[in-house]
Amino acid sequence: MRVTGTGHASMRIDTAAGSILCDPWVNPAYFASWFPFPDNSQLDWETLGDVDYLYVSHLHRDHFDAAHLKRHVSKKATVLLPEFPTSEMEDEFRELGFTKFLKTRNEEIIELDGGLKVMIQALTSPTDGPIGDSSLWVEYDGVRLLNQNDARPTDLSVFAELGHVHAHMLQFSGAIWYPMVYELPQAAKTAFGKQKRDRQFDRTWRYIDDLKADHVFPIAGPPCFLDEELWQFNDIFDDEGNIFPDQSVFLAEYAKVGGSNGIVLLPGSVAEVTTEGATTTHPQPIEEFFANKAAHLAEMRERKRPIIEAEKASWRHPEVDVLKEMKRRIEPLLDESIYLAKGVGGPVRFDLVGYDGESIESIVVDFPGKQVRPYADEKVRYRFRTERALVEHLLHIGEVDWVNSLFLSCRFSAARIGQYNEFVYAFFKCLSTERLQYAEGWYDEHERAVDAEDITLGDWVVQRRCPHLKADLSRFGIVDGDQLTCQLHGWRFDMPSGRCLTSVGHKVRAHRVGEEAPAPAIAQPTD
């Protein structure tokens, strides 16, 4: 089995029975904030895109690059569709001209022509990507590969049970805006960033240990930031709080925990994977490339500057009445929202900075009041500050997912009073009736389910499944004194009270060994 690295989470898998192109991303994403690192724009994409099968794990724009898919990927390719709860992915592919689809069933092996086998595991919670994420398992001639990309399954046993895996591709670096955009003292921001960076690696080690593949390929990050406004997010400043470590850092950290089977793929690298081992060739020496990372980024920044400037010029839409359009689009969804609105529990404020860089229009999305209105000088727990032009553009194009556009761009600052509230981000990811109705139903069913099975962790008896997204705490749970941490997403709980220390809601059931268990309770979101 031949694996050609094509950048970020993208790769081409070639076998005698057919080829699969995965997650091809080349163009900048999220308001021209993210670019693939290392640069992959100069690969021979006409050849790489002439494939039998196309797999895109989810609709994040650093995986689903519509312009690139339309221009460079053969429309003769059969699209392998994960079993997602909405039709959005298929709809977007059809708009790009794709007509051949294989609609997979979750965790069901499909044998394609020539003995090539595939299986897709779809994750379908509202927090998994933009309403869905997935992993691809491939087998041919006894060689097995798992492309986990940036999916976070609670359990990899479904793949391990299919036979020993020879190549495991997974994310290790950051892919979100926290804590960089928060209005915090720099020392606090660095401390939170270091904590997040450590959790990312801990989760990666756990996945690697679970699967025990012959070879581990760090993929799906980091992006690079070429706009001057975001340049500081690149991990080239010896900042221990930077959440975007690169592949060379992965190899160094992996070695500290005894890992010696890591393989880095640059764009154009080729790995020949067999049941006996793997041989890899690179377009240039790995050590040399990363030793010159800063120079590579500086050259890339100059080359991509016209692209960034053209993108910025397209954002302004002064004809858009932002307050009026937000009311028109968001208020009907507030009327429909029961569970998410209750979970947010208060107003969310947007401070929109005008074209002059000084004037500010403040708009409140009032979840209890079910309305969008001007800010009335009231206390709010959640506040975002961004350029007015960005919100104008979102409204102009009818964007249904502000989380995976505005927020992932990092072109904003945020402040909050109290804990992280996932319901805020779940709502702004679901600005369509289809998405909102799915999320409402998922949260209602998920939060009302009572997990009756208990496990013992140290001196504590605790429910086996994490209240957040049902990760198995017998594998992901770490106890330190009276605190429980789920390593899958880094959520922490105070076990004597059961209170979640990371977000609102999501109470855990726990008691000390030898003490009487508390009465069962149905979890509900709290303000």
3-state SS, 299-350, equals HHHHHHHHHHHHHHHCCCCCCCCHHHHHHHHHHHHHHHCCHHHHHHCCEEEE
For residue 518, the model assigns a pLDDT of 61
For residue 450, the model assigns a pLDDT of 56
One domain for residues 96 and 243? yes
CATH assignment at residue 389: 3.30.1050.10
What is the distance between the alpha carbons of residues 269 and 163, in angstroms, rounded to a whole number?
26
- Give the residue from 307, 339, 373 where a domain finishes: 307
CATH assignment at residue 87: 3.60.15.10
- Give the residue from 377, 408, 438 where a domain finishes: 438
One domain for residues 100 and 227? yes
User: pTM of the entire structure?
Assistant: 0.87
For residue 527, the model assigns a pLDDT of 29
In a domain, 265, yes or no: yes
Residue 359 belongs to what domain range?
322-438
For residue 92, the model assigns a pLDDT of 97
One domain for residues 372 and 395? yes
One domain for residues 192 and 220? yes
| Exposed e or buried b per residue across 427-450, where buried means at least 16 C-beta atoms within 10 angstroms of its C-beta | bbbbbbeebbebbbebbeebbeee
As a whole number of Å, the CA-based R_g of the chain is 23
One domain for residues 63 and 147? yes
For residue 449, the model assigns a pLDDT of 59
CATH assignment at residue 488: 2.102.10.10
With beta carbons less than 8 A apart as the criterion, state whether 13 and 140 touch: no
Q: How many domains does the chain have?
A: 3
Residues 56, 62, 66: CA angle, nearest 5 degrees? 65
One domain for residues 114 and 154? yes
Give the alpha-carbon dihedral of 180, 185, 188, 193, to 10 degrees.
10
In a domain, 524, yes or no: no
- Give the residue from 272, 307, 342 where a domain finishes: 307
One domain for residues 291 and 367? no
For residue 522, the model assigns a pLDDT of 38
Tokens representing residue 117 in the block: 């086998």
Residues 6+ apart with CB under 8 A from 241: 179, 189, 190, 191, 192, 193, 194, 197
- Taking 50 as the pLDDT cut, the residues of the chain under it are 520-527
Tokens representing residue 2 in the block: 């031949």
What is the distance between the alpha carbons of residues 359 and 385, in angstroms, rounded to a whole number?
12
One domain for residues 384 and 499? no
What is the distance between the alpha carbons of residues 467 and 508, in angstroms, rounded to a whole number?
6
CB atoms inside a 10 Å sphere around CB 416: 16
One domain for residues 167 and 276? yes
One domain for residues 253 and 368? no
pLDDT digits (tens, 9 = 90+) for 9-58: 999 999 999 999 999 999 999 999 999 999 999 999 999 999 999 999 99
What is the distance between the alpha carbons of residues 500 and 483, in angstroms, rounded to a whole number?
10
In a domain, 443, yes or no: no
What is the distance between the alpha carbons of residues 479 and 285, in angstroms, rounded to a whole number?
42
In a domain, 523, yes or no: no
With beta carbons less than 8 A apart as the criterion, state whether 26 and 8 touch: no
Residue 123 CA, distance from chain mean position: 12
One domain for residues 277 and 386? no
Intra-chain end-to-end CA distance of the chain, in Å: 52
Question: Residue 353: enclosing H or E segment and its boundaries?
Answer: strand 347-353
In a domain, 507, yes or no: yes
For residue 523, the model assigns a pLDDT of 38
3-state secondary structure of 352: strand
In a domain, 103, yes or no: yes
For residue 256, the model assigns a pLDDT of 98
Q: How many residues would you count in the chain?
A: 527
In a domain, 350, yes or no: yes
In a domain, 258, yes or no: yes
One domain for residues 71 and 186? yes
